[in-house]
Amino acid sequence: MNNQLINFEIINEVVGDDADRIDEFCQAGMTSFAQFRDAYEESMLDRNMQQLRDEGHRVKPVAQMLGLNPLLEEYEKAKKILANGASDKKVIASVKDMQQICNQIIEEFRQRAGQEKS
C-alpha cells in the first residue's frame, strides 16, 4: 500500500490550519485506529460479531469522513466472513489485511503530526 489513505484536506477543513489542533487530531487518530486494529483482531479471532460491530460503529464515522475506503471495505467484508462461518484462513487473512490498513493509517497520522511540529 503505497497510496496515501487519509484525506488530510478534510482534517484541515474540520480543525483549521492550527498546527496544535492538527497534531491533537493526529494523536487521537493514532490512538483510535490502534485500538480499533487490536479490537478487530480480537473480535475476528473470537468470531464475536457483536464486538466487531461495536468497534466498527465506533470508528466508522471518522473513517468515512477521512475517506478510508479500504478500511471500510475490509470491515464490511469481515462481517460477511463471520456471518458465513468462513474458514480460519479467511479470518486470519482479514485480520492481516486490517492490520496493514490500520498500520498505514497510523503511520500517515504519525508523519503528519511530525510535520505540524516542524
pLDDT tens column, 66-88: 999 999 999 999 999 999 999 99
- Going by C-alpha positions, the residue among 18, 31, 8, 30 that lies closest to residue 107 is 30
- Going by C-alpha positions, the residue among 13, 2, 77 that lies closest to residue 40 is 77
Checking if the pLDDT of 21 tops 50, the result is yes
Name the pTM for this structure.
0.91
Degrees to nearest 5, angle at CA 89 with 87 and 94: 100
Domain spans, the chain: 17-116
Give 18 or 97, the one with higher predicted confidence. 97
**Mean pLDDT for all residues in the chain:** 93
Q: Express as a percent the part of the chain with pLDDT over 70.
A: 95
Residue 92 pLDDT grade (very low, low, confident, very high; cuts 50, 70, 90): very high
Q: What is the average per-residue pLDDT within 18-42? A: 95
Checking if the pLDDT of 1 tops 70, the result is no
Q: Express as a percent the part of the chain with pLDDT over 90.
A: 81
Q: Give the DSSP H/E element, type plus range, for residue 49.
A: helix 49-65
Task: Indicate the burial class of 114 (C-beta count within 10 angstroms; 0-12, 13-18, 19 or more).
Answer: exposed
pLDDT at residue 17, as a whole number: 84
CB 40 within 8 A of CB 14: no
pLDDT tens column, 39-54: 999 999 999 999 999 9
